[in-house]
Structures are given as structure tokens and as C-alpha cells.
Amino acid sequence: MESNKNVMSRRKFVELFGAAASATALSSLMTGCGSTRASGSGTGSSASGTADTITFAQGSDPRGLDPAYVDDGESAKIMANIYETLLKYDKSSCDVKPGLAKSYEVSDDGLTYTLHLQEGVKFHDGTDFDADAVKKSIERQLEGNRNDDMPYASFVFGTASEGNGVSTVEAIDSTTVKITLVAASTPFLKNLAMSLASPIVSPTAVEKAGGNVNESPCGTGPYTFVSWTKSQNIVLKANDSYWDSDNAPKTPNIIFKFISENASRVTALNNGEADIIDGIDDSVVDTITSAGNSLYDEDGMNINYMAFNTQSDTFKTPEARKAFAKAVDVDEMVKSLYGDYAGVASSIMPLWMAPYDKDVTQTSFDKDAAKSELAALGITSVKCITYSNARPYNTKGGQALAEAVQGYLKDVGVDVSIDTYDWTTYKTKVQTEAYDICFYGWVGDNGDPDNFMNLLSDSNVSMNVARFDDADYKALIAQGVATPDGDARDDIYLQCEKMAADKQPWLLISHSKNLAGYSPKVKDFVIHPTGVVWLWGATKEA
């Protein structure tokens, strides 16, 4: 079987030559981390003929801007321009290369990682970047220090008491960090490049903010935080003291604008209020291109799914979950909702990552069987919660998807009630609300199969919304993490795929293409396979 690395290398390089009409100049910019609000109006350009501002419009506010406290793409897209990681991904793949660590060594037993840090780097608040800062940034997320509001901590750094993840972090000297693991972990190097949990945060800023810099982010990256006007925008400005001259920011100001309605984002692009937009679907493609703007699309590294709450009385058994799944014609639904911009999911991982579809059998649509089995089980009503706005893996939004499923279940005599929330609220509701089913999805963080399959073994409900807790599955995941890349490791994750299909904690729906609209005046921005947007190399014609 072809390795993930080789498959990843075939991915199309996502360096875009986008566009926009006139950009908004900033009337007030303040330097430093956690500065006060700023607003923008007017247009501006530099002597070189390039605009001084690029505006990116997305569907909602981020949950926050502290990498330890968020787990969503809206947050990651912004943070990827503020923070940096010890290792970083290549522009076109998830192959790792030096970042804030200029080099590293791994011990023969795979337990010890020694990282040699870049020198002369400073955080945006003037604090020195050094080994002690790295130690503090990681240690606040380790078991014993982490809290329940750190959703990615166990996912990235593991849980030592459960026999996985980071045991200790040591500052050997100012430029050398040694990280020791409890057990060998093949994905760990890729984890260090993730845009969530892994970015290194200024220890001074963390202390000043009382442990949480969600509204006062402070990293070492190419852009510094200026302001956040809730439900409107976040403003960033170029870091004039950025350490990496080869990747210095080319556009002075970046605005992330929040526009919840799909059609309104398209209008903003077409009338020049935004330069790049995401969260679009097939229904607006013609509107974008006929206005002279461009469409970007490529196969996404994602999964769109419906999760059964395996702890609810309704769906605590695989039999009940499969009976429900038989009622939904996934092939028909995907074609109807997404047209040519998504494919039916026959495995949890995208097929270009791990082509397991020929070896994994999902529950097939069978309306008559669903009706009789659900009736025999006494299932006549189901409570559903979902989200309102478009997501990278679901460009139609959770409401439309939930209503489609609701229609199929009505045909077999089951009433599905739907409660819908904005994305930020929804991320809390999946942890606190009682529900039978919910809609969710995942954009891969690092190109490793564990990054997808581990979701169903995570103890954090915000990651494992199905609340699936299976000892055999967890044992397979532990084995997969410790096994080196190759056929043996691929076989382990194939077993995980088969077990997930058999026990049905999720109803798999689709793998979406990454879609963005952009104007031809913008050049050289990057939408990475992990879904984050790198804007420091981007420019826009004035």
C-alpha cells in the first residue's frame, strides 16, 4: 500500500493567485499583544503598487485565539498567522520541516526528542523565545496542569497516566529542549506542527492574562494582533521585527471579517468588501465567476458525519444505530446537497490518504428494513442538535443536512426534532446538551491516519461527540500510534475503519472539496491541506 507521505506529496500545491477589489485601510493600528480595538475604512496602497490590506471573510468568529483553548477551524485560520510551531508543514503537504526548532534528533527507542531552537527570536510583546518559553507553553497542557477547557491537549500531547503522550519537558539550556514520551508515537513530530495546541505562546502574555490569551494572543509569527470586534472582524498587522526574513509578511494589514450568511460573503467578494472568502457551496459558483472572480477547489482532508450519542438510551446499541443508518440514502443526499463538490464517504479517512473503500463496508440504505427494525426497537422520536453556518466539510451548513436526514426518517415513521445553534454556541452544546444525534465533522490536522481515527477514542467530548468508549478500539489506536509507518500500521487503521463501520458510532456522509472564492488581484496566499490559511506571502494589486 502506498504510504501516506507519498500520497500527500501528490496533492496539488495550494498557492493561490486570488483577487479582490479595493481594500480597506486601517484608520487606527496599535502594536503589541492584546491591544485595544481598531476599525478600518478607506483604501490604501504602497509605493510599489500593492494594497496595504487584504480582507479574508469567514462564516463566524473564532472560539478564541489561545491555541490551548480552541479546537475549531475559524480559530486556527487566524492563529496560523499569529503563532508559530516548533516544526511546520510544507506549503503543499503535511511533511514537516524546521520551524521555531531549527533541527531535532529522536532517540533510537522513539521516546526522546531533542529540539534545537532558533536564536534571536522574540514574541510580539518583546519576551525572548527560548527553551523555558517552550517548556511553559507545552507544560500548561500536560496532565495535571490542563483543564477541561483545553480540548486539544490530550489529542496532541497525550495522557501520561494512560500510557501515552508526553512525560516530561526539559529546558536543557536556553536553546535546547528535550521532550520525553511515555511510549513511542509515530505521529508526534507531525503533532508538533499542528495549528491547535502546539503553537508556542508568550509566557509573559499567558501570565498577564491569567492563563488564557483567547482575547490577547501573543506569538512569534509574521502578524501581530491588533483588535477583535465581536461579530465583525479581527485586525492583524505585520510584525516588523519578524525573525524569518525569507517569510516576512508582504502585506501590512490583514482583516478577518465575519459574515455568517453564505450569500452575503459572496456579495462582499463581488463588491470588493472582501478579497478572499470561504465556506461557499456549489450554488454560488456561477455568481462568483460571472463577476470576474475566481474559484479554488481541491480534494479536502476532511470528513462530514452524523454522530450517534452512544451513551443515550436511544442509541446505546449498534443495532439501533444501524437501523437508523439504513433509513438514510447517503448517496442521494450527498448528490442533492453538494453536487460535484463532495464525494460520498465510504471510509472515515479521505480515500487519497488511505484507500480503504474496497475493504470497508458501510451500512447500506434499506428503507423497508429501517422501518421494521426501528419500530421493533420502539424508536419513534429522536432529538437532534446541529450548527447553523457552513463548515469546510459541510458547505450547506448543519441545518440543511439535519433537515435532509429528518426527511428520510419521517419516511420510516420516526420524528426527528432539530435544535440549531451558531457555531460558537454549538461547540459548547455538544458537551452539555442531551441529544440522540448531532452533526459534526473534521478537517485533518497533520495528514496522519491517527489524526482521524483517534477521534473515536478521545475522552474529550468536544472531540468525540459520539461518546464512543470501546476498549478494543482504544487498544488498536494505541497500537497504531506506536507502530512505524508502513503496511503493518496501515493494517491497524484498516481494522479501526472496519470496527467503526461495524459498531456505527457515526453515519459517514461525505468528503468535501475545499472551496474558496477570490479576486485575481490577490497573489500567493496559501490554503493548506489542514485548512488553515497562510497570508504572510500574499499581496494584492492596488
The closest of 70, 103, 5, 8 to 529, measured between CA atoms, is: 8
Q: How far is it, in rounded angstroms, from Cα 131 to Cα 415?
A: 57
Mean pLDDT (whole number) for 142-162? 93
- What tens digit of pLDDT does each residue of 346-394 get? 999 988 887 677 789 999 999 999 999 999 999 999 999 999 988 889 9
pLDDT of 4 reads 32
- Residue 28, pLDDT > 70, answer no
Q: How far is it, in rounded angstroms, from Cα 512 to Cα 300?
A: 6
Highest mean pLDDT among 18-27, 131-140, 156-165, 295-304: 131-140
- Residue 268, pLDDT > 60, answer yes
Q: How far is it, in rounded angstroms, from Cα 68 to Cα 138?
A: 9
Mean pLDDT (whole number) for 516-540? 95
Give the three-class secondary structure for 49. coil
What is the share, in percent, of the chain residues with pLDDT greater than 70? 91
pLDDT of 45 reads 61
> Which contiguous run of DSSP H or E holds residue 368?
helix 367-377
- Residue 163, pLDDT > 80, answer yes
Q: How far is it, in rounded angstroms, from Cα 156 to Cα 173?
A: 24
In 3-state terms the chain splits into helix, strand, coil percentages (rounded to 5) of: 30, 25, 50
- Cell numbers describing residue 263: 450569500
For residue 155, what pLDDT band results from cuts at 50, 70 and 90?
confident
Q: How far is it, in rounded angstroms, from Cα 30 to Cα 39?
A: 11
Mean pLDDT (whole number) for 197-201? 98
- Residue 185, pLDDT > 50, answer yes
All domains in the chain, ordered by first residue: 4-277+519-540 (3.40.190.10), 302-512 (3.10.105.10)
Residue that is written with C-alpha cell 485575481 in the block: 520
DSSP 296-356: EEEE-SEEEEEEE-TTSSTTSSHHHHHHHHTT--HHHHHHHHHGGGEEE-SSSS-TTT---
Q: What are phi and psi of 517, to 5 degrees?
A: -105, 140
- What tens digit of pLDDT does each residue of 414-468 get? 999 999 999 889 999 999 999 999 999 999 999 999 999 999 999 889 899 999 9
Mean pLDDT (whole number) for 281-298? 93
Label the pairing between strands 276-278 and 15-16: unpaired
For residue 8, what pLDDT band results from cuts at 50, 70 and 90?
very low
Selected residue with higher pLDDT from 11 and 187: 187
pTM: 0.81
- What tens digit of pLDDT does each residue of 39-91 get? 333 346 655 689 999 999 999 999 999 999 999 999 999 999 999 999 999 99
Cβ atoms within 10 Å, residue 414: 20
pLDDT of 390 reads 85
What is the share, in percent, of the chain residues with pLDDT greater than 90? 82
Q: How far is it, in rounded angstroms, from Cα 437 to Cα 310?
A: 9
DSSP 64-113: -S-TTS---HHHHHHHTTT---SEEE-TTSS-EEESSEEEEEE-TTS-EE
- Residue 18, pLDDT > 60, answer no
User: What is the per-residue burial (b if ≥16 Cβ within 10 Å, else e) of 298-315?
Assistant: ebbbbbbbbbbbbebebb
Q: What are phi and psi of 452, to 5 degrees?
A: -90, -50
Residue that is written with C-alpha cell 491569567 in the block: 210
For residue 296, what pLDDT band results from cuts at 50, 70 and 90?
confident
Q: Which residues are CB-contacts of 66 (< 8 A; sequence separation ≥ 6)? A: 201, 212, 213, 214, 217
Q: How far is it, in rounded angstroms, from Cα 411 to Cα 338?
A: 22
Q: Rg for the chain (alpha carbons), in Å?
A: 23
> Which contiguous run of DSSP H or E holds residue 263?
helix 262-270
**How far is CA 427 from its chain centroid?**
13
The closest of 470, 437, 496 to 307, measured between CA atoms, is: 437
- Residue 100, pLDDT > 80, answer yes
- Residue 10, pLDDT > 90, answer no
- Cell numbers describing residue 248: 516576512
- Residue 27, pLDDT > 70, answer no
pLDDT of 313 reads 97
Selected residue with higher pLDDT from 238 and 423: 238
Residue that is written with C-alpha cell 532558533 in the block: 118
- Residue 147, pLDDT > 90, answer yes
What residues are paired with 514 via a beta bridge?
Answer: 298
- Residue 31, pLDDT > 70, answer no
Label the pairing between strands 415-421 and 381-387: parallel
Give ∠ CA 305-340-515 in degrees, rounded to 5.
75
Q: How far is it, in rounded angstroms, from Cα 460 to Cα 154?
A: 8
pLDDT of 47 reads 53
Task: Report the first-to-last Cα separation within the chain, whole angstroms.
Answer: 49
Q: How far is it, in rounded angstroms, from Cα 141 to Cα 66?
A: 12
Contact predicate 508/481, CB 8 Å: no
Q: What are phi and psi of 393, to 5 degrees?
A: -90, -10
- What tens digit of pLDDT does each residue of 303-352 get? 999 999 999 999 999 999 999 999 999 999 999 999 999 999 999 998 88
